[in-house]
């Protein structure tokens, strides 16, 4: 700023006031504190201060004049800005600092101090001028802002870390699962592939990412049926469930893969992505097949000595002395009964093995449903005369099914009802027409089942926890029943409550399975 010409101003004009008076009034009207020090005297005392300086510092003129300005710093003497001031004073330069000062009452205020030397014609410093502004509010605002920034940065750091942790958590799961996982975009290009996928198919990330699913490997996934299913996923949210692909894959040879695919959902909204899970079930299937073989062989081998036993029993029966005692005859009769029971058990094992290999043959023929049920119930009544088995309802239906298999199911449900209701002699059988089906229900008033048992009761070799202790057996009867009914395109289910009993029901299409397949 060029101030050289200020001296030449003639401010007073005709007002009567002197220039000095006007200047002093102007200084007193200022909001900035102004002081002048005399550099020619020892310790540079203040020789002038305006009103604003008094207002800002809280000191009165008489307490200010003659003092060095450092009194404003009170006990706060270690500020860096003091060095700047001392250097500028020593070297006769102007400077601007922000320094902590204290009012007379001890309150801190931030002083933005502009200090400039005044030189005489010889170039010697005679005075210093100090202009002070109280910038406490600005300093506070700046401080708050900095504080705010620190807090924000801290928060961002925390959020970022949480996000990274959850990403690491998820990715460690994705990389650890023993299932190949691919994420596909709507055009079925691979967006990501997990480690297990790469390892299973012995491929690299480079030859997988960005490529279309159907182009991978030797086009093993390019199957019309699979294409159809995948196309429906995004628009309909119909997942692909347990789709089997048997293929001669590059690098790894002939394998059986199980595919499951789902639409990726995030916070209730679906994204345009498909998660494809691929599981190698080659070994599992192999083991299942071996188990089938084992069951077949075991059944065969068990039947061989049984055949001999049965033969000897029959030979003995033929040679039975006429004077044999009652006790001997009844004991002998029991041997035959238990041989037959053993044969039935072995037969069940074979049945299971047949079901598993899909070899259960159905001999479909028309028969009178009510008669078949009545015969099965009568048969059971003869076996357990102490029980009261009631048969309610009639269908009048002539149905097409494998009669011996259905009779086997009814007998099995009845014998279960008897076996698992040791303290109840009451069993109710209900038959009815339901639309194009016949329905059979067998109700007992026995132990009942827990929800867990209800879910698993139709599984192979499953036995209820409590049941296992009280009623030893193989636990395949209901599995066979379920498979027989399923093969007829009917359903078998159970409703049960612990302590109250169970109701096993099944439905069968009257017209046979062909019409319903």
Partner 1 sequence: MHKKKILICDDDEGIIDVLEMIMEEVGHEVITVNDSMKVQEIINKEQPDLLILDLWMPRLSGQDVLRQLRNHSDNSNLRVIVISASRDGEQIATAAGADQFIAKPFDLGNIIESVNALLN
State yes or no: residue 220 binds partner 1 (CB under 8 A).
no
State yes or no: residue 345 binds partner 1 (CB under 8 A).
no
- Looking at beta carbons only, is 148 or 314 nearer to partner 1? 314
Least Cβ distance, residue 315 to partner 1 (angstroms):
6
From the list 24, 73, 343, 450, which residue makes contact with partner 1 (rule: CB under 8 A)? 343
Least Cβ distance, residue 414 to partner 1 (angstroms):
25
Task: Say how far apart CA 210 and CA 217 lie, in whole Å.
Answer: 14
State yes or no: residue 350 binds partner 1 (CB under 8 A).
yes
The torsion of the CA quartet 80, 82, 88, 91, rounded to 10 degrees, works out to -100
- Looking at beta carbons only, is 151 or 316 nearer to partner 1? 316
Q: At which residue do the structure tokens 């089997």 appear?
A: 244
- Looking at beta carbons only, is 253 or 305 nearer to partner 1? 305
State yes or no: residue 359 binds partner 1 (CB under 8 A).
yes
- Looking at beta carbons only, is 5 or 318 nearer to partner 1? 318
State yes or no: residue 291 binds partner 1 (CB under 8 A).
no
State yes or no: residue 335 binds partner 1 (CB under 8 A).
no
- Which part of the chain contacts partner 1 (CB under 8 A), choosing from 57-65, 201-209, 349-357, 391-399? 349-357
Task: Say how far apart CA 194 and CA 180 lie, in whole Å.
Answer: 6
Least Cβ distance, residue 332 to partner 1 (angstroms):
15
State yes or no: residue 353 binds partner 1 (CB under 8 A).
yes
- Looking at beta carbons only, is 87 or 300 nearer to partner 1? 300
- Looking at beta carbons only, is 339 or 432 nearer to partner 1? 339
What's the chain's Rg over C-alpha atoms?
Answer: 50
Least Cβ distance, residue 353 to partner 1 (angstroms):
7
Least Cβ distance, residue 480 to partner 1 (angstroms):
14
Least Cβ distance, residue 197 to partner 1 (angstroms):
41
DSSP state of 206: T
Quote the tokens at residue 15. 């007002």
SS (H, E, C) 66-106: CCCHHHHHCCCCCCHHHHHHHHHHHHCCCEEEEEEEECCCC
- Looking at beta carbons only, is 309 or 407 nearer to partner 1? 309
Quote the tokens at residue 136. 């406490």
Least Cβ distance, residue 301 to partner 1 (angstroms):
8
Q: At which residue do the structure tokens 């995948």 appear?
A: 230
- Looking at beta carbons only, is 73 or 357 nearer to partner 1? 357
Least Cβ distance, residue 303 to partner 1 (angstroms):
4
Task: Say how far apart CA 121 and CA 119 lie, in whole Å.
Answer: 7
Least Cβ distance, residue 355 to partner 1 (angstroms):
11
State yes or no: residue 101 binds partner 1 (CB under 8 A).
no
CB 411 within 8 A of CB 379: yes
Least Cβ distance, residue 322 to partner 1 (angstroms):
17
State yes or no: residue 354 binds partner 1 (CB under 8 A).
yes
Cβ neighbours of 290 (radius 10 Å): 10
Least Cβ distance, residue 300 to partner 1 (angstroms):
5
CB 48 within 8 A of CB 36: yes
In terms of residues, how long is the chain?
Answer: 517
- Looking at beta carbons only, is 183 or 302 nearer to partner 1? 302
Cβ neighbours of 73 (radius 10 Å): 17
State yes or no: residue 341 binds partner 1 (CB under 8 A).
no
State yes or no: residue 289 binds partner 1 (CB under 8 A).
no
Strand partners, 34: 131
From residue 477, give the alpha-carbon distance in Å to each of 130, 183, 416.
Answer: 106, 43, 9
- Looking at beta carbons only, is 254 or 318 nearer to partner 1? 318
- Looking at beta carbons only, is 140 or 307 nearer to partner 1? 307
Quote the tokens at residue 517. 């397949």
State yes or no: residue 174 binds partner 1 (CB under 8 A).
no
Phi-psi region of 225 (alpha: psi -120 to 50; beta: other; left: phi over 0): alpha
Quote the tokens at residue 17. 């006031």
Helix ranges restricted to H, 357-510: 369-383, 403-419, 451-456, 465-470, 477-487
- Which part of the chain contacts partner 1 (CB under 8 A), choosing from 136-144, 353-361, 374-382, 497-505? 353-361
Task: Say how far apart CA 511 and CA 506 lie, in whole Å.
Answer: 15
SS (H, E, C) 422-448: CCCCEEEEEEEEECCEEEEEEEECCCC
Least Cβ distance, residue 289 to partner 1 (angstroms):
15
Interacting residues with partner 1 between 292 and 321 (CB under 8 A): 296, 299-300, 303-312, 314-315, 318
- Per-residue burial over 440-462, b = 16 or more CB atoms within 10 Å of its CB, e = otherwise: bbbbbbbbbbeeebbeebbebeb
Least Cβ distance, residue 317 to partner 1 (angstroms):
9
Task: Say how far apart CA 115 and CA 35 lie, in whole Å.
Answer: 9
State yes or no: residue 139 binds partner 1 (CB under 8 A).
no
Residues in the interface with partner 1 (CB under 8 A) total 22
**CA quadruple 360, 366, 370, 371: dihedral sign:** negative
State yes or no: residue 245 binds partner 1 (CB under 8 A).
no
- Looking at beta carbons only, is 313 or 391 nearer to partner 1? 313
Binding site for partner 1 (CB under 8 A): 296, 299-300, 303-312, 314-315, 318, 339, 343, 350, 353-354, 359
């Amino acid at each position: 700023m060029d101030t050289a010409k200020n001296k030449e101003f003639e401010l007073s004009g005709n007002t009567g006031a002197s220039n000095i008076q006007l200047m002093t009034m102007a200084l007193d009207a200022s909001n900035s504190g102004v002081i002048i020090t005399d550099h020619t005297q020892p310790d540079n005392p203040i020789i002038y201060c305006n009103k604003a300086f008094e207002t800002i510092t809280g000191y009165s003129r008489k307490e200010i004049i003659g003092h060095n300005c450092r009194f404003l710093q009170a006990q706060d003497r270690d500020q860096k800005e003091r060095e700047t001031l001392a250097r500028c004073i020593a070297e006769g330069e102007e400077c601007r600092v922000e320094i902590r000062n204290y009012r007379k009452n001890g309150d801190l205020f931030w002083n933005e101090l502009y200090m400039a030397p005044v030189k005489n014609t010889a170039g010697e410093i005679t005075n210093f001028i100090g202009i002070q502004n109280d910038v406490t509010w600005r300093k506070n605002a700046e401080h708050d802002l900095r504080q705010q920034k620190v807090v924000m940065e801290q928060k961002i750091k925390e959020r970022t870390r949480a996000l990274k942790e959850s990403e690491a958590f998820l990715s460690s799961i994705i990389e650890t699962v023993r299932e190949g996982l691919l994420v596909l975009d709507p055009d079925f290009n691979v967006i990501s592939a997990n480690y297990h996928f790469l390892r299973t198919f012995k491929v690299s990330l480079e030859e997988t990412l960005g490529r279309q699913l159907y182009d991978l490997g030797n086009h093993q996934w390019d199957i019309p049926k699979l294409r159809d299913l995948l196309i429906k996923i995004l628009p309909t949210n119909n997942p692909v469930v347990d789709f089997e692909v048997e293929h001669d894959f590059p690098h790894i040879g002939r394998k059986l893969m199980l595919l499951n695919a789902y639409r990726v959902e995030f916070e209730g909204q679906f994204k345009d992505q498909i998660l494809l899970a691929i599981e190698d079930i080659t070994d599992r299937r192999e083991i299942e097949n071996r188990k089938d073989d084992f069951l077949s062989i075991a059944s065969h081998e068990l039947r061989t000595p049984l055949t001999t036993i049965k033969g000897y029993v029959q030979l003995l029966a033929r040679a039975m002395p006429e004077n044999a005692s009652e006790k001997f005859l009844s004991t002998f009769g029991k041997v035959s009964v238990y041989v037959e029971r053993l044969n039935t058990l072995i037969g069940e094992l074979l049945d299971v093995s047949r079901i598993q290999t899909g070899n259960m043959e159905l001999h479909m023929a028309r028969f009178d449903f009510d008669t078949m049920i009545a015969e099965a119930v009568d048969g059971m009544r003869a076996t357990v005369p102490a029980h009261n088995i009631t048969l309610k309802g009639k269908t009048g239906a002539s149905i097409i099914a494998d009669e011996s298999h259905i009779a086997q199911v009814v007998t099995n449900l009845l014998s279960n009802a008897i076996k698992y209701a040791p303290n109840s002699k009451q069993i109710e059988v209900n038959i009815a027409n339901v639309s194009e089906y016949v329905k059979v229900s067998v109700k007992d008033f026995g132990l009942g089942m827990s929800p867990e048992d209800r879910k698993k009761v139709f599984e192979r070799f499953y036995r209820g926890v409590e049941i296992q202790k009280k009623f030893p057996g193989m636990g395949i009867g209901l599995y066979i029943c379920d498979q027989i009914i399923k093969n007829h395109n009917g359903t078998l289910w159970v409703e049960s409550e612990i302590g109250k009993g169970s109701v096993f029901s099944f439905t069968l299409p009257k017209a046979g399975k062909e019409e319903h397949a």
